[in-house]
Chains A and B, each alone.
Chain A
Amino acid sequence: MTGSRRLPLLLLPAGIFVLAVYVWPTLLLLRNAFNEVGPTGAMVEAWSLKTATETFADGFTIELTLNSLQLSLSATAIALALSYPLSLFLFRTDSRFRGLLAVIAILPMLISGVVRVFGWLAILGDRGLVNTLLQSLGLISAPIKLVFNWTGVTIGLAESIMPYMILALLAGFGQLDRTLEEASRSLGASPLRTFWRVTLPLSLPAIVLAAGLGFVLSMSAYITPKLLGGGRVFVLATEIFEQATTNTNWPVAAVLAIYTLGLLLLLLVVSNLLARGLKR
């Protein structure tokens, strides 16, 4: 095509957009982390590390970090335990409904998060599905607290990251060599032994990548901890939002945001290195 030299000009509108509405605000966020908060709570323009040092000297920041890490770890573990068999099923099945089943597995991703959180409130609430069921079976006398605490947030979060992990696992399974499993079976290994010694080790890189993705998504999730936590669950994401909106303390929000981003970056690098190491 003769006009292909002018083709890069088509990138201009998108380039201007990304620079103005994405790159510039992100730089602004970095800049705000160096501002200070005056005694009246008003922001003071500065180039200092005062806000950062004060934020990290605060024991609450450490507590928030541990809360976020622990929540993300549990949610990722649960989501992985559920996503793995489902993905393996989708990978192996020869059902003619395979396409439809795959769509259903990733459907939650397309349905508003608020809708799904509301569903969990109805399942886990004091007069919800689980408590009604357990009470009618006579297993419990008073409702057990399953929402507005860590239990509810962990369950809701696990469900919300599953579609992403299923997609990551399916992409990873693409590299699984079926002939190795068949060889193991024909040499007399039981299905369980074949899974344990062949399928699982071969899919380990996919597991690590999917878990890394789930962990990162959990760390930055806001809606689920906010709504299913009912104001009793404090993580980095909820604190960033509170500081930015309710307290209008932008410097602290910016420091916490950059800190969280640093943690996420570190996690991504580690999980990618781990996956690459496992592939060899």
Chain B
Amino acid sequence: MNGAGPVLSGLAALVYAVILAPIIVVVTLAFSADSFILFPPSGYSLRWFQALAAHAPLLSALWLSVQVACVVTLLSLAVGVPAALALAKGEFRGKDALTGFFLAPLLLPTLITGLALLLFFTPMRLTATLPGLVLGHMTVTVPFVIRMMTTALSNLPHDIEAAAATLGATPFRVVRRVTLPLATPGLIACACLSFLLSFDETVISLFISGPRASTLPVEMVRYVEGRTDPLIAALSVVLIVATLIVVVAVERLVGVARAIGK
């Protein structure tokens, strides 16, 4: 038995149609000329992209999301990569337990984390602030960076590092001149995915956003709750294109399936 066979391939094609349907529909709807959600649209235009370019709340939320995602990515790598290095290269007691401790936040649903952060941030007046949103998103991205980079660093060939150490390089020098350059594709992919995770984070943001500062997904949820017109579709096209660029980059660097599934 080689290959998938016609029955299985046919079934798979149907499932792909279901998976891709919402995305295709959103992209089509973005070019609609109608004032409400009508599919298929009665005519096509760019009016919703023009409306988007003039919509101040969504644009300022987009800007805030980009800022938050950039800071989150930098800080998560700064905190997560050293930890991953220790977990991948170190040999010390309690390493497995520590690994479990660092990955624990990935087990709790963001619904619970978001609530816990709301209770924590409110007395400290951190809700609806940039530092609050950054710390909130980092509860997702730091464990993610640690998990992805621990795997990436463990899979690096050990002999080059061993050679550098034998030739007299200090451990710090080995890391800086050998380990990190070898891990660069993984690091860039990890940064891209952290950015995406922060940028798309919705539930935690909904808990800790407010009128003073809300991220793009939060503004989108509020918009969809209030009105149904194709404006969000136009914005979605922008987001889908940006996501695809990141996905292609990650796929080229390390492979998406490997990056997400441990």
Contacts and interface: CB of A to CB of B under 8 A. Distances in A.
Tell me, yes or no, whether A binds B.
yes
B260 to A, nearest CB: 7
Contact of A14 (B26, B92, B102, B111): B102
A104 B39 contact: no
A21 B111 contact: no
Given A114-B220, A115-B240, A244-B118, A122 B4 contact: no
What interface size band does chain B fall in?
35 or more
A46 to B, nearest CB: 16
Determine chain B's interface SS by DSSP, over half rule.
Answer: helix
B170 to A, nearest CB: 7
Contact of A105 (B16, B112, B135, B146): B16
B185 interface: no
Interface in B13-56: 15-16, 18-23, 25-26, 29, 36-40
A11 interface: yes
Nearest to B237: A115
A82 interface: yes
Nearest to B119: A28
B79 interface: yes
Contacts of B146: 14
B86 A7 contact: yes
B83 interface: yes
B156 interface: no
Contact of B23 (A2, A28, A111, A171): A111
B148 interface: no
Contacts of A254: 115, 119
B255 interface: yes
A119 B23 contact: yes
Contact of B224 (A32, A118, A132, A216): A118
A122 B79 contact: no
A18 B142 contact: yes
A227 B12 contact: no
Contacts of B40: 129, 132
Interface of B: 1-5, 7-9, 11-12, 15-16, 18-23, 25-26, 29, 36-40, 78-80, 82-83, 85-87, 89-92, 98, 101-102, 104-105, 108-113, 115-120, 135-136, 138-139, 142-143, 146, 161, 165, 170-172, 174, 196, 200, 202-203, 206-207, 217, 220-221, 224-225, 228, 232-233, 236, 239-240, 243, 246-247, 251, 255-257, 260-261
Given A1-B89, A99-B255, A245-B206, 12 more contacts: A1-B165, A22-B105, A25-B116, A86-B15, A89-B8, A89-B9, A93-B4, A94-B3, A111-B23, A114-B232, A191-B5, A257-B115
18 contacts: A1-B171, A7-B92, A10-B83, A11-B102, A21-B135, A92-B3, A103-B257, A112-B236, A115-B22, A116-B22, A118-B233, A122-B25, A170-B257, A170-B261, A219-B109, A223-B203, A244-B207, A254-B119
